[in-house]
């Protein structure tokens, strides 16, 4: 199941790289919802993310295909540079939960991404309620 999800996300990333590598000038012709979706799909490609961040209106947008926002996606798949870039953006919600009530901290702990956990714990706006659950999940999964 995880392999299928990873393959799907990988293909989405590949497609978005092709679309945007053709011409960054074409961003003005893309709807705002599509830009917000593509930010999530671009996680892992910091250069592309930087371009999209400057064009998107909602950094916390949940891509309906992926089921995550950009920060959740980066935390889930261990993209430390993407997390660092997103955490520097004004308005990023580090406590946003997905439909399974998993926050970026919980996702990073569950999948053993220690550097990302450290980045999130350094934030003053982290909701401490999620820290307890994240610690339990990290211990349960031997992370």
Task: With 0.85 as the threshold, say if the pTM is over it.
Answer: no
Cβ atoms within 10 Å of 34's Cβ, excluding its own = 13
Taking residues 64-93, report their average pLDDT: 95
Q: How far is CA 13 from the centre of its chain?
A: 12
At residue 31, the pLDDT reads 79
At residue 39, the pLDDT reads 87
The more confidently predicted of residues 128 and 38 is 38
At residue 83, the pLDDT reads 97
Taking residues 73-81, report their average pLDDT: 96
Q: How far apart are CA 12 and CA 130, in angstroms?
A: 30
Which residue, among 63, 48, 55, has the nearest Cα to 16 in the 3D structure? 48
At residue 90, the pLDDT reads 94
């Amino acid at each position: 199941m995880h392999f299928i999800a990873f393959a799907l996300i990988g293909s989405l990333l590949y497609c978005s790289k092709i679309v945007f590598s053709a011409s960054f000038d074409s961003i003005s012709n893309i709807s705002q919802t599509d830009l917000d979706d593509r930010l999530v799909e671009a996680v892992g490609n910091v250069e592309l993310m930087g371009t999209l961040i400057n064009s998107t209106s909602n950094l916390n947008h949940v891509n309906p295909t992926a089921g995550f926002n950009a920060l959740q996606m980066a935390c889930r798949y261990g993209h430390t540079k993407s997390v660092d870039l997103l955490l520097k953006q004004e308005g990023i919600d580090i406590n946003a939960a997905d439909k399974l009530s998993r926050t970026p901290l919980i996702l990073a702990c569950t999948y053993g991404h220690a550097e990302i956990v450290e980045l999130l714990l350094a934030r003053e706006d982290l909701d401490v309620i999620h820290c307890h659950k994240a610690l339990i999940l990290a211990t349960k999964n031997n992370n």
